[in-house]
Amino acid sequence: MKTFVANVKSPVGVWSVVGSEGGVTHIHLPQDEMTASKGTPPQPVAETVQQLKEYFAGTRRTFKVKLAAPAATEFQHEVWGALRKIPYGQVRTYGEVADAVDRPRAHRAVGNANHANPWPIVVPCHRVVSTGGLGGYGGGDTVKRYLLDLEGVHYD
């Protein structure tokens, strides 16, 4: 299947949604913006773009989009499943996510799984913070703070 790229503007930059009829394969962070494809996007890409626009407008709190199955470890899939259970406007620490996947000592591995997450925002890795503060984010602190602020969670 041919992949399609559609871009979504946000206050912190342009997010690129990549996918096909089989599902969304990747959402690229603003610093990784891609050139948009010409033509009509496949339904999973179009739906994801619309839902991201609603999220940035503050009218969407959950996502229902078709995600393509990536090549990933069982642990990564477990972590991404746990991330999807973190409610809008709430955060969890890396240790709490490790506990949620029954690997209480795997907080660093949770961080690595977060970094490998192919669908930021839809699979909300930005909602994971360190015990001492904001924690890391592939899009940088400014983007992470913006996403958390949008959801009503404020970090100095």
Quickly count helices (H) and strands (E) in the chain: 5, 5
Active-site residue, 1 included: no
Identified catalytic residue from 125, 128, 147, 148: 125
CA distance 72 to 75: 8
| 65: Cβ contacts below 8 Å, ≥ 6 apart | 23, 24, 44, 47, 48, 51, 122
User: Alpha-carbon dihedral of residues 14, 31, 65, 135, nearest 10 degrees?
Assistant: -120
CA distance 92 to 113: 15
Catalytic residues: 125
